Amino acid sequence: MNQKYKNYFDGDSWIARLSEENTQVIIDNVTFAPESRNHWHIHHGVQQILVCVGGSGWYQEWRKQAITM
């Protein structure tokens, strides 16, 4: 885990940047070990797309019910 993001996660997780640093669209691949999670947070002024490609997890928007991915 990049030290920059370590305070946002519990358990083991890995972030790999897939896009170039100086682009308008940032693409990261985040991999979580079983039982790992990230803390509630907000992305101000940007959109986020989540794609679950293996396993399962939960996603929740502000003031909405959590859904399974």
Give the model's pLDDT for residue 68: 93
Q: How do the domains of the chain map onto residue ranges? A: 1-69
Q: Please, what sign has the CA dihedral across residues 13, 16, 22, 26?
A: negative
Give the model's pLDDT for residue 66: 92
Distance CA 54, CA 69 (A): 9
Residue type, 35: E
Give the model's pLDDT for residue 3: 63
Give the model's pLDDT for residue 67: 92
- pLDDT, averaged per 10 consecutive residues of the chain (69 residues), comes to 73 88 85 88 82 88 91
